[in-house]
């Protein structure tokens, strides 16, 4: 399907979900601006048809403004913004340096706000769409992934408020909620597990963290599956407000309807299993 070269900006397009989504949209006829932070990634995207790399760091306001000026000068307009750039910080909250929490929100919420606010004039002109890359962690808070979960919960609330405000502009804000996806983010998580801490939480955090990383790398969805859903969200006349992406959504549906105390019991049961092997 040729989308008449409608222009889309994707942040964090150098790898993982962002790269897969950029390639998917470009293949299907969109003109893609891929936000990257370094020269190596820039050069890789240059060689892909219909993708124009653009320097953009969501935590640096100047690069966001420069990217806006660059796209405006191209006179392509902007039909879609895919707020994909994100990082994951993890660890027991009571052991967590406040800097980790600040870094988490600088990228996963404040950066998204700066990018969306800057590019809003172009999006409003085209009655375009804003895609927010959330996560199953945006509605299910797991132990020892508090910073990441908190940022995605915040993004969900931000997106709901923005969607309702933009009803006045006849625009759509769509949340994408992937479960485990096989991306480089899991390798980065390994570094967090190597931190030397001495608290009652350490053995539990390491055990659950190792399990999550192994599952993510071995059973995670191909990021191309997320790209396909983003494409659908951009072309459908009446897209869903939220797209949950997982091999099976039964577990997630149960999480949403079961009493929270039941979920707490299940988590506690996992802690007891870990204790048996300590």
Catalogue the active-site residues.
148
- Name the nearest CA neighbour of 89 among 100, 99, 75, 78: 100
Do residues 122 and 171 make contact, with C-beta atoms less than 8 angstroms apart?
Answer: no
Helical H runs in 166-222? Answer: 185-193, 202-219
25: three-class secondary structure by DSSP: helix
Name, in order, each residue with C-beta under 8 angstroms of 162's C-beta and a sequence gap of 6 or more.
116, 130, 173
SS (H, E, C) 57-122: CCCCHHHHHHHHHHHHHHCCCCCEEEECCCCCCCCCHHHCCHHHHHHHHHHHHHHHHHHHHHHHHH
Do residues 52 and 34 make contact, with C-beta atoms less than 8 angstroms apart?
Answer: yes
- Name the nearest CA neighbour of 231 among 29, 45, 71: 29
- Name the nearest CA neighbour of 188 among 103, 126, 82, 255: 103
Name, in order, each residue with C-beta under 8 angstroms of 114's C-beta and a sequence gap of 6 or more.
58, 61, 64
């Amino acid at each position: 399907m040729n989308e008449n070269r409608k222009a889309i900006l994707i942040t964090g397009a150098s790898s993982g979900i962002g790269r897969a989504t950029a390639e998917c949209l470009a293949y299907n006829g969109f003109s893609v601006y891929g936000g990257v932070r370094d020269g190596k990634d820039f050069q890789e995207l240059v060689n892909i048809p219909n993708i124009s790399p653009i320097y953009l760091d969501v935590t640096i306001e100047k690069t966001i403004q420069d990217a806006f000026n660059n796209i405006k000068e191209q006179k392509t307009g902007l039909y879609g913004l895919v707020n994909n750039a994100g990082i994951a910080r993890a660890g027991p909250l009571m052991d967590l340096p406040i800097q980790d929490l600040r870094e988490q929100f600088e990228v996963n919420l404040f950066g998204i706000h700066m990018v969306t606010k800057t590019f809003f004039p172009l999006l409003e002109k085209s009655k375009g769409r804003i895609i927010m890359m959330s996560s199953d962690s945006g509605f299910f808070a797991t132990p020892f992934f508090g910073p990441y979960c908190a940022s995605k919960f915040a993004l969900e609330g931000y997106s709901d408020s923005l969607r309702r405000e933009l009803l006045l502009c006849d625009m759509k804000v769509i949340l994408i909620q992937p479960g485990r996806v096989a991306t480089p983010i899991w390798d980065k998580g390994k570094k967090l597990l190597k931190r030397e801490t001495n608290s009652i939480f350490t053995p539990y955090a390491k055990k659950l963290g190792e399990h999550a990383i192994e599952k993510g790398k071995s059973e995670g969805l191909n990021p191309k599956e997320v790209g396909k859903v983003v494409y659908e969200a951009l072309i459908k006349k009446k897209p869903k407000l939220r797209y949950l992406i997982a091999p099976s959504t039964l577990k997630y549906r149960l999480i949403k309807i079961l009493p929270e105390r039941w979920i707490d019991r299940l988590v506690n049961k996992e802690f007891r299993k870990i204790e048996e092997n300590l």
